[in-house]
Structure 1
Amino acid sequence: MSFELICEIEPPTKPDLTHVRHQIGTMSKIAHSFLIPDNHIGRATVSSVAVAHEVQAMGGRGIACLNSRDRNLLGFRRDLLTAQAYGVDQFLFVYGDKPTSGNRTSDLTVRSMIEEAREFSPGARLGAAAGMRPLPSFKRAADFLFLQVGFSVVAQVRWREANPVDVPVYAGVMVLASERHARMLASTIPDIDLPETLIEQVAADRMAGVEAACAQVLALRESGAFAGVHLVPVSRYRDVESRLAAAFIK
């Protein structure tokens, strides 16, 4: 069975796709597809649909993330229509991080986005994010699932065994770029279990986060429990690519 590596791209906060293109060019040697976040951590970014189109123009496969936080029904239909025009047909629907300013738009939920997209964009592949808790029944109607970022292979495999589904499930793996980054994650992401020993290792060695994430990817592949991983390399994508190249080179 194939094991897919889905790499998350750092989305641009300015109208310049140079950095995006560099990430795609570097990671395309090992990545099977790319996930493009939507208004990452509550900041405005270039449309995930537009960046997914850029991925495809460079010969890759793009998955556009759309959150329910920032759009009403009309805005969601606009995004689906734009995606059809661009030939983007894979989506990940999420609730969305807390905005840095302003309020949430309450018209949509992940459930209603899945239901609406089934009617508005027949044939599209629709994914949903799953937390480290029992899987809601409506998410079982998705075409694939992205399990929340975690740092324990044992916990991720245990969740997979407790939540059997017949669709591909991708385990979340994130590179810890620094001690500050690690502590920010621990304080802002619900249900995350970030070992203090790993934080201390990252504080002592800037490459420890890269090494730990790469080891986790390989251990998840060895487990056979998942269809692949959703890898978040943050700014360390060059280091990640060089270490995983031997295992995932296409």
Structure 2
Amino acid sequence: MTDRRFELICEIEPPTRPDLTRVRHQIGVLSPIADSFLIPDNHIGRATVSSVAVAHEVQAMGARSVACLNSRDRNLLGFRRDLLTAAAYGVERFLFVHGDKPAAGGRTSELTVRAMIEEARSAAADPAFAGCGPFQAGVTSGLRPVPRWKEAADFVLVQVSYSLDSLLRRRDRVSLNVPVHAGVMVPASAGMARDLAARIPDIDIPESLVVDVERDRDAGVAAACEQILARRDSGAFDGVHLVPVSRYRQVAALLEREL
């Protein structure tokens, strides 16, 4: 990690209906603690309002945005359309991902995250984007050996983990010259925690935490806040990617006292 300022990127829940009221509420509640807001794209395989449009709304409220775009739901022409729309809205920071398995149907094309990075980079020399700032491209990683093409990204968001020791061991094995943000998710319920442990390799959710959350939902909020502070104090990361889910009010209230 360099001497860059520690950045807290808060992920918000995107709307599945044409109503941005809840988005605006999340931004308002989390703004005192968040440096940037990440807007997912067709979250968990469900259709949502465009992440680029929501990113524009975030910026209209005076906050910084990161628009997530997945390769699953678009071909190259569709991706170029999204970049043009983003340029028109002044949205310049992206997270490019493969995309979760869709609820129904399959992938629409052969577009890859690597191709998205290359296309975003080539926009700088494209007359169609003249006068627009360069796009910033982020990627995700499990902090296993990182493919060389991912080193071309501007920042990396690391998989959620509940074990700082395990995360630090993996961090020591990976050399990256761009900001690295560790993932922290609030376990909103015991069922959610068990589901995450079953679906995500190396997430390292201790059973004691699952039991605590089963007894008291606020235990998950407290645990997530402790994880954020521990990652900051470790000096090994440039920031945290926080997924507060439905507990964003409680997280904001607690972190505002701690940060």
**Do the aligned residues in 1 keep the contact of 2:143 with 2:174 (CA within 8 Å)?**
no
1:207 and 2:218 aligned? yes
The residue aligned with 1:148 is 159
Letter paired with 1:102: G
**Do the aligned residues in 2 keep the contact of 1:132 with 1:191 (CA within 8 Å)?**
no
The residue aligned with 1:47 is 50
1:80 and 2:91 aligned? no
Letter paired with 1:211: A
The residue aligned with 1:15 is 18
The residue aligned with 2:228 is 217
1:168 and 2:175 aligned? no
CA RMSD of aligned residues (A): 1.2
- State the alpha-carbon separation in 1 of the partners of residues 117 and 201 from structure 2: 23
1:64 and 2:67 aligned? yes
Q: With structure 2 as the length reference, what TM-score do the two structures score? A: 0.93
**Do the aligned residues in 2 keep the contact of 1:15 with 1:46 (CA within 8 Å)?**
yes
1:175-202 per-residue CA deviation (whole Å, 9 max, x = no partner) reads 0000111122222234432222211111
3-state secondary structure, aligned to 2:182: strand
3-state secondary structure, aligned to 2:105: coil
For structure 2, the residue ranges without an aligned partner over 5 or more in a row are 126-133
Identify which range, 117-126 or 74-83, moves more after superposition. Answer: 117-126
- State the alpha-carbon separation in 2 of the partners of residues 50 and 157 from structure 1: 36
**Do the aligned residues in 2 keep the contact of 1:143 with 1:168 (CA within 8 Å)?**
yes
For structure 1, the residue ranges without an aligned partner over 5 or more in a row are none
**Do the aligned residues in 2 keep the contact of 1:77 with 1:120 (CA within 8 Å)?**
no
Number of aligned residues: 248
3-state secondary structure, aligned to 1:69: coil
Identify which range, 136-145 or 196-205, moves more after superposition. Answer: 196-205
Letter paired with 1:136: P
Q: Compared with structure 1, are the counterparts of its residues 205 and 193 closer, same or farther at alpha carbon in structure 2 (3 Å cutoff)?
A: same
Choose from 93, 116, 120 the match for 2:119.
Answer: 116
